[in-house]
Amino acid sequence: MIYDCDYFIKKFEAIPQDGMICNAQYDKLGRHCAYGWCSPDAGKLGIRLGEFKYGDQTKEGQTLYKLFNFLPQLNFVNGIPDCHNNPASINNGLYIEYQQDTPKQRILAALYDVKALEASQSPSYPDVREELAASVVIGDSADVLREVEGVKN
Higher-pLDDT residue of 96 and 142 is 96
The pTM is what?
0.77
Whether residue 59 lies inside any domain: the answer is: yes
Contact 53, 40 (CB under 8 A): yes
Whether residue 144 lies inside any domain: the answer is: no
For the chain, how many structural domains are there in total? 1
Whether residue 146 lies inside any domain: the answer is: no
Whether residue 104 lies inside any domain: the answer is: yes
Residue 93's pLDDT band (boundaries 50, 70, 90)? very high
Whether residue 7 lies inside any domain: the answer is: yes
Whether residue 52 lies inside any domain: the answer is: yes
Residue 21's pLDDT band (boundaries 50, 70, 90)? very high
Predicted local confidence at residue 115, as pLDDT = 92
Say if residue 102's pLDDT is above 60: yes
The enclosing H or E element of 43 equals none
Predicted local confidence at residue 84, as pLDDT = 82
Say if residue 144's pLDDT is above 60: no
Digit-coded pLDDT (tens) for 34-44:
999 998 888 77
Task: Report, in this order, helix, strand and coil percent for the chain, each rounded to 5.
Answer: 40, 5, 55
Residue 25 sits in which domain range? 2-138
Whether residue 148 lies inside any domain: the answer is: no
Predicted local confidence at residue 44, as pLDDT = 78
